[in-house]
Structure 1
């Protein structure tokens, strides 16, 4: 967990290399996260995770996704393919 700089949206946040580690923390009631519905629908249905509702959010808000990858990732063929596929699938320009 980090709390010494302002890279996250909260003064106390975690950085996870993969979604399975994040979900494991959530299953142990360690925080909350905005996750793709497809990734957690079965876990919510089975009661392993809980969907939170905000009383201040009257309608759904389209949220942006921030991705980070290691320096040089896009220099290799697989890295370029992954990022380009993500951009095309999500209709991103940059």
Structure 2
């Protein structure tokens, strides 16, 4: 399944900046960054639960925001992209 993970971490303190780096690192480990605080993640149900658990452990729910969007199939009808960035299709054939 395709999940969009978005976050907004309060960075007015040094602790907030550390949280931001940790949240980004968790997201980078499972997905691809498509905007500064937006990641596309192709995951199984178990991977999604693990991602959610890890991110909830990192954020401060009194100051930060975390949102997940599940993109239903067929993804091609649900996601349109414009501009210079093109997401990598990890399910497509690899051409060397």
The two structures have a TM-score, normalised by structure 1, of 0.26
Give the structure with the larger strand fraction: 2
Q: Kindly indicate whether structure 1 or structure 2 has the higher relative contact order, using CA contacts under 8 Å at least 6 residues apart.
A: 2
Max Rg structure:
1
The two structures have a TM-score, normalised by structure 2, of 0.26
